[in-house]
Amino acid sequence: MKKAYNRRVFLKDSSKAALAAGIGISLIPSVVVAATGNEFEQQPLPYGYAALEPYIDAMTMEIHFTKHAAAYAKNLADACAAEKVNMQTTSVETLMKNISKYSIKMRNNGGGHFNHEFFWKCMKPGTANQPSGILLTSINQSFGSFESFKNAFADAGKSRFGSGWAWLVQTADGNLKIGSTPNQDNPLMDISELKGTPLLGLDVWEHAYYLKYQNKRPDYINNWFNIVNWDFVAGQLK
């Protein structure tokens, strides 16, 4: 019986694999990265490379994650070794808050690593609904309406000259604020003009969108709102 059962399972799984291959779907996870628990190291992408299509294409996600973001994590580890930062006892957030004490390499790669790890969590597959509960109330109080917030956030990303990030942050007094940072800076850094707790971050470097949108950054930003993970954003609100 056991042998027959195993054979049925094998035939069933083989049929699934054949069907998947026939329609272009892989049963093998498209992202395989070992989780380490060390926040200085790149963590697994919480979805497959193609999961955010049609808004972000699979090739862009794969290159973005395995090349750009992976390089920031590697270079951050090198900088920490050179500048005697203990990655076991220091948090990335603490490093950001004291970034002025370190080198440009630490600033660029520490920011790049933190920003990308945060960015992946700001998105999820499927069509996003607007936020609800306390987050929506706070947005409405701060910006007048959700649509006004979206327009202001999009403008922050569109108007960032060159490469950088658009952010929604909660300031020290509890208010919400929209702004942007250049390159790989972020609102946690002590050198940043925009300061606060990041709630939502959008990568507006060309490598985040150029394969699909070319020079049409506004189209990328407008479509990006379809995959915002509002549950994650709400979880950052204090």
pTM, rounded to two decimals: 0.84
Q: Strand (E) positions, the chain? A: 164-170, 176-182, 197-203
Indicate the domain borders of the chain: 56-238
pLDDT score of 30 more than 50: no
97 versus 128: which is more confidently predicted?
97
Task: Supply the mean pLDDT for the chain.
Answer: 88
Pairing of strands 164-170, 197-203: antiparallel
CATH 3.55.40.20 for domain 56-238, yes or no, is yes
| Structure tokens that stand for 102 in this block | 């370190």
3-state secondary structure 44-56: CCCCCCCCCCCCC
Please state the rounded mean pLDDT for residues 200-212: 98
- pLDDT category at 37 given cuts 50, 70, 90 is low
Q: Are the C-beta atoms of 185 and 96 separated by less than 8 Å?
A: no
Per-residue model confidence as pLDDT tens digits over 135-173:
999 999 999 999 999 999 999 999 999 999 999 999 999
Per-residue model confidence as pLDDT tens digits over 61-82:
999 999 999 999 999 999 999 9
pLDDT at 38: 87
